[in-house]
Structure 1
């Protein structure tokens, strides 16, 4: 027999019946409006007492709660006692648990959605569970109860804490009519202050109160309510709201249409033991049986089609610091001073990345480009916690701006534990981008070796410098499967031994040589992949390289300088593979690459957003080969492409490669000429090194200590001003 639910509300007179499917059963829900007449509600309760399985009272609570305080509402309590046979429910028994669960499920479905958001409870009255769950995620939760009920200009939780204000608020509300406590949509007699609503990113609470008291403009707001009607959705869409989330369960995971009192009544009707008490504990097992995801409805079509990511970069040298117009005038100050103090700046917003779209799926993505102030030298000389703190700030900025995954660029991906600590401290997904860096590097290196004349890669020999690092190790393992003779170079012998054994177990036919220095083996390898940067030592002695060798320089800053590369015109030095992102991409900032071209780590973050993968992806020192293969498959799926080979910020033409190949062929035929070239190269390199050694270090000699002190003071003031400005704007 179909269970019968009666739901009474104070809205306009009406009488409708609908079938509802929940927990595998079909119920009949009849809703009757009393047009604000509480006596009519009492009459209806008495009329249907014993004739239905449960009665729900919408907007007529027997108990009012705010924060940790609660009071009994005399009229609501009396209404519940009007029936002697049928249970009368007001939603308080299940609302808190379902709201908490809904926030958790939404956060799992869209990590970071509530993180670093400002929440305004509209109102907090009888939404203790929702408020508590959001407080765990959001940066700030305020309560509009003081604004709604007393027309005060500020919410609770800002100047007056909730615990202090809740008691007095409830004392004033406990005898108020329900139309004031749970207002319906409409125009208020007196408009409420708009500022707290405008400050909030999330408006959570009652749909009627939000529609009635919030400003007409709700651009980019997230609305969290129990349920929503088509009229509610149309109104919020017209006011510019971005998203509606309903916290009550509904069939087919659709937008919830019935509020918590009706859901509680359904639970009561479906409880296995009719004698079980009407409390939250009785309902928990029924809740656990729900196969349900809260509905997340994006109201703007263009917003629904855009996935957002963030990416963090940092200046590779002081030259990059001056590219930002806010810091451009610092070029007149001593370089070391600028480098030291700009490192202290909090993460800064640079631009929005727009225009990326998958030709395969049509999925559009947008990015947020952020920067730290530290150069590689500053990042490496400081404790990793220095970088962690700034990356955590950047992650929280990204979450607040709507990003769901954040990529770590350049040295931010290798400092400390390579992103693991940051990922543990924030809700947004994190990736170093190194999986696609590996894939792009190896593909670019393969193409370069072929263009330099190799015909059978399996007969060649490759070297990986920095082989035990996160990128180097997986490059070594994959190269050993294609070029069976590899040389692994890294400073830690114990790690080299472990990696050699791993590769030999994975690829038994591979010949693996290990060394702590590269010099002895450079004259015998065709491809060198260098993945590590030592700021004070030379990683590769290019003069020792084999004629026609290819050096793929993944490190940032690069290991091979342009001056060093010029010493060996037969050796091809290329950057790690840069990526062309599909679409009319605009980075909004000069990242040092041609238009639409991104570093592989940035491209990976874009690609994951395009595929809708919002989970930690590439983290730590050990990159999973399966991830490298998966990201390369997605690379192909979404139409990403390798950009042309580049060397020192310039594309390498086929003509240039042909010239290098011709010189290499001549040197192979004429060993004496090769010896002369190497000797001349070493002499030229030593002359350059001596010139560099006599250059003054640190502050120019012409600067007096007083000048340095004044410059430092000005720079400290700048850093403080930028930090204060960002704190003040909150954006």
Structure 2
């Protein structure tokens, strides 16, 4: 692998430690879950190079596993930051020019801000391209949300609830929807009232917006967009209106496959998924089939393949960064780098006007 255009992407075990560690090495799936929980918390395990990355037939990067689970990262932030920093050291040793922070490795480093003093490698949290892809998916889904009397009829506009609106991706998505119009009214859901009010005030001139601090506020939404970072809080069937569509762009996921059986009227669409047809991982995998990646991974690849130097998206991405990464993605259009065709828990979804069918 040449040093030019090389990148690394950090990941971590999610909710099911045994299942995710088996992605790095299959025999690890034989060890009981409780053993991993104890080992990952107590042992100073080094980062693991779990997969090589090929795009366009060329080897261009690596996936580096941070040996700390999702709940561990959220509960032990300082230790999580140390382990992520060691994974970045590993990326440097592998010859990477850019390192992307996947899932909660971005959260515990404050969106990469704790790594901003590093000069030996460029860092990005991937949230600029994630916001771009989520906006693309929202606009793809809006014409297909279910028509329900008494919900969408108010002012004749669809109702979109953004859960995790004041987070890094949520803030950018909210501003994108306000900037580019589209007629939807927004409910912004997050825990901190002050940040909610500030975000709502920033977009109030461009969009009809309400705020809420409780998940119950999504109950009359046509489209619920999940952008939170929680290992435990799942969106349940009791939270959703009849015929609602959910775009889940969280990792670990905040929806359960059980929704498909308990609420067959509800469609859950996998969010933040990018098509890169020639993408192949060797030696391990990250939970997606060949040819698909998470948007934060794709942002890292875009920066490396287009010759970017220096840090990119740290903390909250600006709309200028979203526009810039979209332009870089367009320059690599021959490789893909656009929103993937919709899926629900990995199964293809055929969208039709006011309906969607899982095939």
TM-score category (smaller protein) = 0.7 to 0.9
Of 492, 495, 511, which residue of structure 1 is paired with 2:192?
A: 492
Contact 2:48 2:65 in 1 (8 A): yes
The offset of 1:462, in angstroms, is 1.1
Asked if 1:347 is matched to 2:47, the reply is yes
> Once superposed, what is the RMSD of the aligned Cα atoms?
2.7
Contact 1:309 1:365 in 2 (8 A): no
Contact 1:519 1:541 in 2 (8 A): no
- Show structure 1 runs of 5+ residues with no match: 1-301, 358-363, 662-731
Partner of 1:323: 23
Output aligned runs, 1:43-442, within 5 Å. Answer: 303=2, 306-316=4-14, 317-318=16-17, 319-325=19-25, 328-329=27-28, 331-333=30-32, 335-343=33-41, 344-356=44-56, 366-382=60-76, 384-442=77-135
Contact 1:449 1:550 in 2 (8 A): no
Contact 2:8 2:91 in 1 (8 A): yes
Of 163, 178, 182, which residue of structure 2 is paired with 1:480?
A: 178
Q: Secondary structure at the match of 1:339?
A: helix
Asked if 1:534 is matched to 2:230, the reply is yes
**Which of the two has higher C-alpha Rg?**
1
Contact 1:487 1:512 in 2 (8 A): yes
The offset of 1:458, in angstroms, is 8.6
Asked if 1:607 is matched to 2:306, the reply is no
Alpha-carbon separation, structure 2, partners of 1:632 and 1:365: 23
Relative to the length of structure 2, the TM-score reads 0.87
Taking a change above 3 Å as real, the CA distance of residues 396 and 416 of structure 1, as seen in their structure-2 partners, is: closer
The offset of 1:397, in angstroms, is 1.9
Alpha-carbon separation, structure 2, partners of 1:352 and 1:458: 49
Partner of 2:242: 547
CA-to-aligned-CA distance 1:142-170 (integer Å, 9 cap, x gap): xxxxxxxxxxxxxxxxxxxxxxxxxxxxx
CA-to-aligned-CA distance 1:533-584 (integer Å, 9 cap, x gap): 433444x3433423332211111111110113432212211111311225x3
Alpha-carbon separation, structure 2, partners of 1:394 and 1:521: 37
Alpha-carbon separation, structure 2, partners of 1:431 and 1:537: 26
Alpha-carbon separation, structure 2, partners of 1:443 and 1:308: 27
The offset of 1:654, in angstroms, is 4.2
Relative to the length of structure 1, the TM-score reads 0.44
CA-to-aligned-CA distance 1:187-234 (integer Å, 9 cap, x gap): xxxxxxxxxxxxxxxxxxxxxxxxxxxxxxxxxxxxxxxxxxxxxxxx
Structure with greater helix share of residues: 1
The offset of 1:494, in angstroms, is 1.1
Q: Secondary structure at the match of 1:652?
A: strand
Taking a change above 3 Å as real, the CA distance of residues 656 and 387 of structure 1, as seen in their structure-2 partners, is: farther
Alpha-carbon separation, structure 2, partners of 1:630 and 1:603: 14
Asked if 1:503 is matched to 2:197, the reply is no
The offset of 1:409, in angstroms, is 0.5
Contact 1:436 1:632 in 2 (8 A): yes
Contact 2:133 2:338 in 1 (8 A): no
Contact 2:21 2:28 in 1 (8 A): no
Alpha-carbon separation, structure 1, partners of 2:60 and 2:327: 21
Taking a change above 3 Å as real, the CA distance of residues 430 and 520 of structure 1, as seen in their structure-2 partners, is: closer
Partner of 2:158: 460
CA-to-aligned-CA distance 1:99-132 (integer Å, 9 cap, x gap): xxxxxxxxxxxxxxxxxxxxxxxxxxxxxxxxxx
Partner of 2:219: 522
Contact 1:437 1:600 in 2 (8 A): yes
Asked if 1:571 is matched to 2:266, the reply is yes
Asked if 1:618 is matched to 2:291, the reply is no
Asked if 1:629 is matched to 2:326, the reply is no
CA-to-aligned-CA distance 1:159-182 (integer Å, 9 cap, x gap): xxxxxxxxxxxxxxxxxxxxxxxx
Contact 2:11 2:101 in 1 (8 A): yes
Contact 2:161 2:188 in 1 (8 A): yes
Contact 1:579 1:599 in 2 (8 A): yes
Taking a change above 3 Å as real, the CA distance of residues 474 and 418 of structure 1, as seen in their structure-2 partners, is: same
Taking a change above 3 Å as real, the CA distance of residues 521 and 312 of structure 1, as seen in their structure-2 partners, is: closer
Taking a change above 3 Å as real, the CA distance of residues 655 and 518 of structure 1, as seen in their structure-2 partners, is: same
Q: Across the two proteins, how many residue pairs are aligned to each other? A: 343
The offset of 1:387, in angstroms, is 2.0
